[in-house]
């Protein structure tokens, strides 16, 4: 159908168009998406091409959400240029493929049996694993959602904090006062324990454990 010229879009439809343009131009906030372990196939298909899932949902559900929109208004919207973005076509293609590959016909398993088709809810990790097997090109941020969230380092407790400070202080003292015989880790630990046996964390067992972890950390990439 050829675009209809000079169609005036007003009222509810005009507001919807404005919201859709804003959604289309707004980048995906990937850290926020990570908070959702499962999403609908429609949302996942959109994210897999770097589009906001809200935008694609509004495009696909236009008539359902805004039954007052006329054919002329829809035609004007199609001529607007937003729908010409290749990502929209690719997202819709991927959505169709994903729907056809949902269990029991395919490998994707919905977490909610009550929702079917594009509304089927699938774990993000499962979708990304399946999509990579399909050799789909996807944003690195989307693929990264399948990786475990980084574990925040725990704050040291008072005893651990004191242990590390005491260890650093004793090592610094030894560096500033070099002497023969410190030719092995065992010799260094023995001297530390001999000089400061009553200090928190200065024990053979604790120092051997901390030194071992320190060396592992230093060798890590």
Query: Pseudo-torsion of CA 13, 14, 20, 22, nearest 10°?
Result: -160
Of 53, 115, 50, whose CA–CA distance to 87 is shortest? Answer: 50
**Angstrom distance (rounded) from CA 30 to CA 127:** 16
Q: What is the pLDDT along the chain (221 residues), one digit of tens a residue?
A: 344 444 444 555 566 666 666 666 667 888 888 888 999 898 899 899 988 776 555 555 444 444 555 656 555 555 554 555 678 788 889 999 999 999 888 888 888 777 788 888 999 999 999 999 999 999 999 999 988 766 555 677 888 888 888 999 989 888 888 888 888 999 999 999 999 999 999 999 999 998 988 888 888 75
pTM: predicted TM-score of the whole model, two decimal places:
0.54
Which whole-number Å values give the CA distances from 162 to 61, 156, 167, 169, in the listed order? 60, 9, 8, 10
DSSP 58-125: HHHTHHHH-TT--HHHHHHHHHTSGGG-HHHHHHHHHHHHHHHTBTTSSSB-BS-TT--GGG-EEEHH
- Which residue ranges make up each domain of the chain? 11-146, 158-219
Sign of CA dihedral 15, 13, 118, 139: negative
Four-point Cα dihedral 113, 89, 3, 70, nearest 10: 10
pLDDT value at position 189?
A: 93
| pLDDT at residue 56, rounded to an integer | 53
Could you tell me the two tokens for 114?
């009550």
């Amino acid at each position: 159908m050829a675009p209809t010229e000079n169609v005036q879009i007003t009222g509810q439809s005009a507001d919807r168009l404005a919201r859709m343009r804003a959604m289309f131009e707004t980048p995906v906030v990937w850290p926020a998406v990570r908070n959702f372990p499962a999403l609908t196939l429609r949302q996942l298909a959109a994210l897999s091409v770097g589009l906001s899932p809200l935008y694609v949902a509004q495009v696909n559900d236009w008539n359902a959400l805004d039954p007052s929109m006329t054919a002329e208004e829809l035609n004007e919207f199609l001529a607007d240029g937003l729908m010409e973005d290749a990502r929209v076509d690719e997202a819709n293609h991927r959505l169709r493929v994903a729907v056809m590959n949902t269990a029991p016909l395919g490998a994707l398993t919905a977490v909610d049996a009550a929702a079917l088709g594009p509304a089927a809810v699938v774990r993000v990790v499962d979708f990304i694993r399946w999509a990579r097997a399909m050799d789909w090109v996807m944003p690195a941020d989307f693929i990264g959602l399948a990786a475990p969230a980084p574990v925040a380092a725990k704050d040291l407790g008072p005893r651990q904090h004191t242990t590390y400070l005491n260890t650093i202080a004793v090592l610094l003292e030894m560096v500033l006062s070099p002497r023969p015989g410190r030719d092995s880790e065992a010799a260094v630990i023995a001297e530390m324990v001999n000089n400061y046996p009553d200090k928190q964390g200065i024990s053979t067992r604790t120092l051997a454990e901390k030194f071992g972890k320190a060396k592992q950390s230093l060798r890590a990439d």
